Amino acid sequence: MTGFENFGKNRNVDDHAKMECGVCWQVYDPAEGDPVWQIPPGTPFTALPEDWRCPHCDAAQARFMRLGDNG
């Protein structure tokens, strides 16, 4: 499959997986959390509140895709 795939919360996403916004390329790293939304470090993408959106461009969670392993 090519192009963007919507992941949202219904996909199997590893708790440690980094997720990237398909609109602005902002990365959500569970190890860092999200200080803008007061999400503590260690919070997996799948555990984010339903109303959480990209802190940079306000895109919905469904616009995030899992980053590949970079080693």
Q: Do the beta carbons of residue 33 and residue 16 sit within 8 Å?
A: no
Over the chain, what is the mean pLDDT?
87
pLDDT band at residue 39 using 50, 70 and 90 as cut-offs:
very high
Render pLDDT for 11-30 as a digit per residue (tens, 0 to 9). 678 899 999 999 999 999 99
